[in-house]
Amino acid sequence: MIGRTKITGTPTERTCAATDIVLSLVSAACAVYIGTAASVPAEGLALWVWIFSLSSAAAILGAAVHGMVLSEELKGRLWRLIYFILGQTVSLFVVAVIYDIAGRGPALFLLPVMIAAGIGFFCITVARPGRFLPFILYQTAAMAVALIGYVWAAIQPQSENAWLFACGILIIIVGSVLQSCKSLYVVLIWPFDHNSLYHLCQTVGIVLLAIALR
């Protein structure tokens, strides 16, 4: 118990909260790590710092939802906030990918469109609360576009780190597939369900993206 707040007694939820904390810390560290990357243009750098920072914020909120015994009302409010943050994270990710591959002009043109798309995704989650599938579909579609873009970039002459970007994105996509398998359950010292494995894949993917950026 922390103060008056109890830690959940469900083993898989505790593991899920722990992996969310790891994801949050790693995302925050990656934001700092690339924040000093002089090789990244200032605008592109700002986009990636925002992406990693928002990912960190969503993960720590997810740790609270999964790891604490909270009222249904508070859980609902936290999930809405998490979905809003995740929606904008994915939207900015698409813009950052376009910036990397196509340049500043197309990325700035796409920025308001993707922010609006993130808001639209959030409205869907409000209309259909308690469902993570819309986010998985939204994220997977964005990651598929990014994967195609970086694979295309990798086969171009003088490409730098595009394959590493592609590998990071592919691992995140694999995590999304695992997350959709609700019955998935493995024991690796601790019990891991589909959510925990998704967080681990997200963590590895984010690390690869940060290394590729740096």
**What pTM did the predictor assign?**
0.88
Instruction: Tell me the average pLDDT of the chain.
Output: 86
Evaluate whether 24 touches 201 at the Cβ level (below 8 Å): no
Q: What pLDDT shows up at residue 55?
A: 95
Task: Annotate 2-40 with b (16+ C-beta within 10 A) or e (fewer).
Answer: eeeeeebeeebbbbbbbbbbbbbebbbebbebbeeeeeb
CA distance 194 to 202: 12
Domain boundaries, the chain: 11-213
CA distance 50 to 46: 6
Q: Given pLDDT bands bounded at 50, 70 and 90, which one contains residue 38?
A: low
Dump pLDDT digits (tens) for 61-118: 999 999 898 888 888 899 899 999 999 999 999 999 899 888 889 999 999 999 999 8
Strand stretches in 78-167, DSSP E = none
130 or 79, which is more confident?
79
Whether residue 51 is predicted with pLDDT greater than 90 in this model: the reply is yes
Q: Given pLDDT bands bounded at 50, 70 and 90, which one contains residue 2?
A: very low
